Amino acid sequence: MNLQPDDFWTFSQWLLRPGAFLESALLQGIVLVLLAILLGLLVAYVISAAHYGPGEGFYAVARSIRDFLTVDLPGTSPRRIMALAHLAFKEAIRRRILFVIGLFVVILLLAGWFLNPDSDDPARLYISFVLTATNYLVLALALFISAFSLPQDIENRTIYTIVTKPVRASEIVLGRMLGFVAVGTVMLVPMGLASYIFVKRGLDHTHLEAVEAEQVNGQIVGETDRVRNHSHEFTIEDGETQGLTAIVRGHRHVVTRDGDKFTIGDPVGQLRARIPSYGEIQFYDRSGEAKEEGIDVGAERLAGGYGNAGISRLIGVTGGTRKLEHSYVEGGTLGMAEFTFSNVTPKRYPDGIPIDLSVRAYRSYKGDIESGIRGSLTMKNPDTGAESNPIAFVVNEYQIDERTLPLEIEGTDANGETRLLNVYDDLVNDDSQMQILLRCLDRSQYLGVTKSGLYLRPAESSFEWNLTKAYISLWLQMTMIIAFGVMFSTFLSGPVAMVATAVCVLMGFSAESIYDTRHFIDTNVSRGGGPIESLVRLVKQDAMTTQLDVEGVANTLIKSADAMIVYTMDAVATALPNLPRMMATAEYAASGIDIFGAVLARHCVATLGYCILAFLISYFFLKSREIAA
């Protein structure tokens, strides 16, 4: 998977941003909460002023603030909140929403007919499907139950049986949120278990026999039969009874020999949770000069994402930084990508240096398209310059190529002599750092790589725990949607509240597109401009590449209006939760990468921040309805 620059931040870097505190999630979250409170108070004042006049409306809103700080918040009772949450839970259950679990099981049963287990990466296919299906079903359900409950109670006047009792507005809001979250949790748990069983059963297969097994150089070399459109080659050392097959489609099998018979075990390694150790990347051009980026071959470009580091950094939007796309190194030259890894110690890597490669290939000419593009890996000491002989490989695109670099290898030492080198004695410096140089061996061909395209693999986590973390991320998204749905339902009717919540979600999905639009207008003012300028050009039939044929005050007004529109869209988008970045945890699980603890922690903090924000707005909107009543 292709990670973005901020995915490598630690939690403290994301929260506090040392050296750039104005861009820290903590400060921007505080600003967002304060702005939301002001907006809620403004709306409450408008509603109150419309009923009681400007003066009395102001005092009514002031009383609501006083009540919140001195009465409602200190007097909020957990017991009453849990009672109201229980009522909301029972109400949602009475609406027979649990049928969604049955619907999900039916979807899984039908999906078994259409998902192709013969694909190049069936594990990724199955995991992506179950997480995506769960995500959309649960979010749609959260949107429905949270948006309609309170408006229906108000419309049916059943809310009066609650407000006539000693129940505070804060308790009503929190009770609704917690009750609906409990409903979603009750549904999410069996859906997660069903997903796990579906993935395990869908990927399970067995090769029944070995074919073409023969003795070669003291080893038993053979190949399994063909199942699901693939087979495995295997090797068993002389005198041994077991061996491993080659990795095909992300898995291998244990082969047991009993005389002339071979038993092939269940698939191993399909469901992974690799714990990567990433290094710092440095590119070099064809002449060997250090460059910040590699070559742009035209197939990919560094994407936009030039947002203004707005509030959306709460959930990791890359505002102010470029998205990380593949940069390419040219083959047959001095061009290369240099990865510097830290903490390379015998304790972490006792039996070799396990690495995973995810490299793109770009052909500048067709040539022999059946032969893959060749690359090489070289281990190097950052201080002494000692380096191993290159280890050649053939690019296996769109799949993770797992390799183990040996601890002893021929190479050139610090004195320029060729001899057998030990990795820890010769190629790792005193700070436990080692470099790996990635080169393309074929002239006029290119290899594309990112910082996450080559990493060391010191350990593995449990797939079950990794899948659980992916479902925790889904739970956080569901909680956030419920909070927004309850917030809108405090002052809108059910259908309108659902539409408003859906609009917030959709705008969050399009946040990065808005960043790109704003950057385009900022840096390409001569190529069409903003919406007002584009409309003027359409009317005047002016080309996008020419200067706008409007002068004086009119030109200034057009430019100012465009800037205001785009920056307003940007401000709204950056204030909304960027759900695609939270959904990216599904990509981690599907790619077999352990979900970073820092990523999950920032999602938890972001969800908590948005829930607090929604609670405050909901409280003042609900109090404004009481004021209006």
Is residue 155 domain-shared with residue 224, that is, in the same domain? no
φ/ψ of 414, rounded to 5, equals -65, -20
Distance CA 76, CA 620 (A): 15
Kindly state whether residue 9 falls inside one of the protein's structural domains: no
Kindly state whether residue 235 falls inside one of the protein's structural domains: yes
Is residue 516 domain-shared with residue 440, that is, in the same domain? no
Instruction: State which of 220, 245, 268 marks the end of a domain.
Output: 268
The burial of 442, by beta-carbon neighbours within 10 Å (0-12 exposed, 13-18 middle, 19 or more buried), is given as: buried
Residue given tokens 């395209």 in the structure block: 453
Tokens standing for residue 273 = 């949770």
Evaluate if residue 473 carries a pLDDT over 60.
Answer: yes
Model confidence at 526, pLDDT cuts 50, 70, 90, reads very low
| Whole-prediction pTM | 0.83
Query: What pLDDT does 521 receive?
Result: 52
Evaluate if residue 307 carries a pLDDT over 60.
Answer: no
Is residue 216 domain-shared with residue 184, that is, in the same domain? no
φ/ψ of 156, rounded to 5, equals -85, -5
- pLDDT tens digit sequence for 311-328: 233 333 333 344 557 889
Kindly state whether residue 325 falls inside one of the protein's structural domains: yes
Kindly state whether residue 307 falls inside one of the protein's structural domains: yes
Query: What pLDDT does 294 receive?
Result: 87
Q: From residue 532, how far is each of 512, 553, 556, 560, 580 by CA, in Å?
A: 21, 15, 12, 10, 30
Distance CA 594, CA 41 (A): 43
Is residue 491 domain-shared with residue 548, that is, in the same domain? no
Is residue 399 domain-shared with residue 547, that is, in the same domain? no
Query: What pLDDT does 34 receive?
Result: 82
User: For 483-490, what is the mean pLDDT?
Assistant: 90
The C-alpha R_g of the chain, in whole angstroms, comes to 30
Model confidence at 519, pLDDT cuts 50, 70, 90, reads low
Is residue 183 domain-shared with residue 292, that is, in the same domain? no
Mean pLDDT, all residues of the chain: 82
H or E element at residue 219: strand 219-224
Model confidence at 478, pLDDT cuts 50, 70, 90, reads very high
Query: What pLDDT does 156 receive?
Result: 65
Evaluate if residue 527 carries a pLDDT over 70.
Answer: no
Query: What pLDDT does 284 receive?
Result: 95
Percent of the chain at pLDDT exceeding 90: 30
Evaluate if residue 511 carries a pLDDT over 80.
Answer: no
Is residue 126 domain-shared with residue 186, that is, in the same domain? yes
Q: Which of 260 and 484 is assigned the larger pLDDT?
A: 484
Is residue 217 domain-shared with residue 260, that is, in the same domain? yes
Evaluate if residue 303 carries a pLDDT over 60.
Answer: no
Evaluate if residue 310 carries a pLDDT over 50.
Answer: no
Contact status, residue 468 vs residue 192, Cβ threshold 8 Å: yes
Annotate 392-459 with DSSP letters as a single string: EEE--TTS-EEEEE-SEEEEE-TTS-EEEEEIIIIIS-TTS-EEEEEEE-STTEEEEE-GGGEEEEEE
User: For 9-25, what is the mean pLDDT?
Assistant: 76
Residue whose C-alpha is closest to residue 68's, from 611, 616, 629: 616
371: DSSP letter: S
- pLDDT tens digit sequence for 170-228: 888 899 999 999 999 999 999 999 999 999 988 888 888 777 778 777 788 888 888 88
Least confident of 49-63, 264-278, 398-412, 555-569: 555-569
Query: What pLDDT does 316 receive?
Result: 34
Query: What pLDDT does 628 receive?
Result: 46
CATH of the domain at 284: 2.60.120
User: For 228-248, what is the mean pLDDT?
Assistant: 85
Q: Which of 95 and 333 is assigned the larger pLDDT?
A: 333
Distance CA 628, CA 622 (A): 10
Query: What pLDDT does 183 receive?
Result: 92
Is residue 237 domain-shared with residue 120, that is, in the same domain? no
Least confident of 213-227, 334-348, 378-392, 454-468: 213-227
Query: What pLDDT does 44 receive?
Result: 74
Kindly state whether residue 54 falls inside one of the protein's structural domains: no
User: For 401-408, what is the mean pLDDT?
Assistant: 92
Is residue 222 domain-shared with residue 335, that is, in the same domain? no
Kindly state whether residue 244 falls inside one of the protein's structural domains: yes
φ/ψ of 305, rounded to 5, equals 70, 35
Is residue 171 domain-shared with residue 240, that is, in the same domain? no
Kindly state whether residue 518 falls inside one of the protein's structural domains: yes
* 91-104 burial code (b ≥16 CB/10 A, e <16): bbeeeebeebbeeb
φ/ψ of 334, rounded to 5, equals -80, 0
Q: 315: helix, coil or strand?
A: helix
Query: What pLDDT does 389 receive?
Result: 95
Residue given tokens 């809620």 in the structure block: 40
Task: State the total domains in the chain.
Answer: 4
Distance CA 118, CA 202 (A): 11
User: For 38-49, what is the mean pLDDT?
Assistant: 78
Is residue 137 domain-shared with residue 169, that is, in the same domain? yes
CA angle 153, 159, 160 (to 5 degrees): 145
Range of the domain at 229: 210-268
Instruction: Report CA torsion sign: 542, 547, 552, 554.
Output: positive
The number of CA neighbours under 13 Å toward the Cβ of 224 is 30
Least confident of 206-215, 398-407, 459-468, 563-572: 563-572
Distance CA 264, CA 213 (A): 13
Kindly state whether residue 610 falls inside one of the protein's structural domains: no
